[in-house]
Amino acid sequence: EAQVTQNPRYLITVTGKKLTVTCSQNMNHEYMSWYRQDPGLGLRQIYYSMNVEATDKGDVPEGYKVSRKEKRNFPLILESPSPNQTSLYFCASSPWTGAYEQYFGPGTRLTVT
């Protein structure tokens, strides 16, 4: 089944403890991105990647890192999480940059205490 998977789905952690949220797609898509969703603010793009080894900042990149070493994987790294990074995170992919349809993962609910 064609899909975008994220792990973990739920995570509670403490301030400053490094964490990684994984994202993987099995559709051979070139484009991948990360969004966060907060009440009243909607979904906002954090980082995106147009292909392997090509990443760039979205609207809210502060406090996050990404890497794209393989086409299928696009992990989101929080080096020193803070409470304001408590949010619902979505990974998305599409066949190429600007393709009409983007496929979203199921989401990762992160709580930083």
For other proteins, the closer CB: 14 or 99: 99
Give, as ranges, the residues between 38 and 97 that touch other proteins (CB under 8 A).
42-45, 48, 50, 58-59, 88, 90, 92, 94, 97
Question: For residue 83, which phi and psi values (nearest 5 degrees)?
Answer: -55, -30
Residues paired with residue 8 on neighbouring β-strands, in sequence order: none
Q: Name the minimum Å distance from CB 29 to other proteins.
A: 11
- Sole binder of other proteins in the list 1, 10, 69, 100 (CB under 8 A): 100
